[in-house]
């Protein structure tokens, strides 16, 4: 069984060694890591702490007693941590702030268009075949009155008349889609 005082002395010694390590190498590590993090002080400070934590987790590195010879080892650990952190940031998508979301265009909502298309499809189904055929020729196929008349085998005047009455019938079947009056 290890006496409590021995554990306490070792822990205090570890804390003192770590504090001395930070005093002796902290500024140099921070300057080194500021260069590797492109001047990002917060990231560099985090990496300094992680580097010193790794040194603390590897007591064999601290046991040499010669803290000056630790600097190359600390720089190697710090450089590797910086590289790993950069790779981790590049591997995930960039973070977007709330202000960027507010400035981005809203997704186009096509719900109303879909409902209107369904309503129109149903209304066209309710029209007489003659009225429906004229509207299909003129508005969906883009035919001229002459082309629609030829396709349907009727005179152009009949195409015009049927189109007029077909549109009136559609307006009656689709009351919410008519002209809107200014309020």
- Residue 167's pLDDT is 92
Are the C-beta atoms of residues 67 and 25 closer than 8 Å to each other? yes
Overall CATH class of domain 111-175: mainly alpha
Identify the pLDDT of residue 63. Answer: 66
What whole-number distance in Å separates Cα of residue 117 and Cα of residue 63?
A: 79
pLDDT of residue 65: 56
For every one of its 183 residues, what pLDDT tens digit does the chain have, with 9 covering 90 and above? 444 444 444 454 567 777 888 888 899 999 999 999 989 999 999 999 999 888 878 777 666 655 557 888 899 999 999 999 888 888 887 777 777 767 777 778 788 888 888 988 899 999 999 999 999 999 999 999 999 999 999 999 999 999 999 999 988 988 877 655 444
> E-assigned strands of the chain?
none
pLDDT given at position 68: 56
Domain ranges in the chain are: 4-92, 111-175
Query: Residue 15, exposed/middle/buried by CB under 10 A (0-12, 13-18, 19+)?
Result: exposed
Give pTM, 2 decimals.
Answer: 0.45
pLDDT at 7: 47
Which CATH number, 3.90.1420, 1.10.3470, 1.10.1740, 3.30.1950, labels domain 4-92?
1.10.1740
SS3 assignment for 55-85: HHHCHHHHCCCCHHHHHHHHHHHHHHHHHHH
* Predicted pLDDT of residue 67: 53
| Contact criterion met (CB below 8 Å) for 51 and 77 | yes
* Measured CA distances, 73 to 41, 56, 79, 129 (Å): 22, 13, 10, 87
């Amino acid at each position: 069984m290890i006496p409590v005082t021995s554990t306490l002395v070792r822990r205090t010694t570890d804390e003192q060694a770590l504090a001395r390590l930070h005093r002796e190498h902290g500024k140099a590590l921070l300057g080194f890591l500021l260069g590797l993090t492109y001047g990002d002080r917060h990231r560099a400070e985090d990496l300094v702490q992680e580097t010193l934590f790794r040194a603390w987790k590897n007591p064999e590195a601290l046991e040499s007693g010669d803290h000056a010879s630790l600097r190359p080892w600390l720089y190697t650990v710090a450089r590797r941590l910086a590289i790993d952190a950069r790779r981790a940031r590049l591997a995930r998508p960039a973070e977007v702030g709330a202000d960027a979301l507010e400035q981005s265009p809203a997704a186009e909502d096509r719900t109303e268009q879909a409902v209107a298309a369904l309503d129109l499809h149903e209304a066209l189904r309710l029209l007489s075949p003659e009225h429906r055929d004229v509207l299909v020729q003129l508005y969906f196929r883009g035919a001229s009155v002459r082309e629609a008349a030829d396709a349907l085998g009727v005179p152009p005047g009949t195409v015009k008349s049927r189109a007029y009455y077909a549109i009136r019938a559609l307006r009656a079947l689709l009351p919410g889609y008519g002209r809107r009056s200014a309020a």
